[in-house]
Amino acid sequence: GAVVSQHPSWVICKSGTSVKIECRSLDFQATTMFWYRQFPKQSLMLMATSNEGSKATYEQGVEKDKFLINHASLTLSTLTVTSAHPEDSSFYICSARGGQEQFFGPGTRLTVL
């Protein structure tokens, strides 16, 4: 199947700082990428849909000013957690769509101190 990478795999930051997470489709072009958040022992919660060349579509309850998404090319989408706080600590996973299938990145574990 298609390969999606995510960087970094883990990050620890201080409260109030911003963190950028990259999601890349390595062997295919993805006009649409998705960002999920997953708490321990819970399902994947869709945060936003990232469309190449246009604004992201955020799910209800997700603060667009806090979780900035940029999809500047067909192979790269970024999620920036601005002014991070301990409650933002979570496992963030991206996926890229190829046809109807979605291919997931390995995830980024964010810990905010």
Partner 1 sequence: GENVEQHPSTLSVQEGDSAVIKCTYSDSASNYFPWYKQELGKRPQLIIDIRSNVGEKKDQRIAVTLNKTAKHFSLHITETQPEDSAVYFCAAMRGAQKLVFGQGTRLTINP
- Closer to partner 1 by CB, 1 or 61: give it: 1
Residues 52-91 that bind partner 1 (CB under 8 A): 91
Cβ proximity to partner 1: between 19 and 93 the closer is: 93
Residue closest to 31 by CA, chosen among 8, 54, 12, 9 = 54
- Among residues 46, 68, 74, 76, which is the contact residue for partner 1, using CB under 8 A? 46
Nearer Cβ to partner 1, position 43 or 86?
A: 43
Q: Which amino acid is at 21?
A: I
Distance from C-alpha of 41 to C-alpha of 22, rounded to nearest angstrom = 24
Query: Residues 6 or more apart from 53 whose CB is under 8 A from it?
Result: 71, 72
Question: DSSP class of residue 90?
Answer: E
Give the footprint of partner 1 on this chain (CB under 8 A).
1, 32, 34, 41-44, 46, 49, 91, 93, 97, 100-107, 109
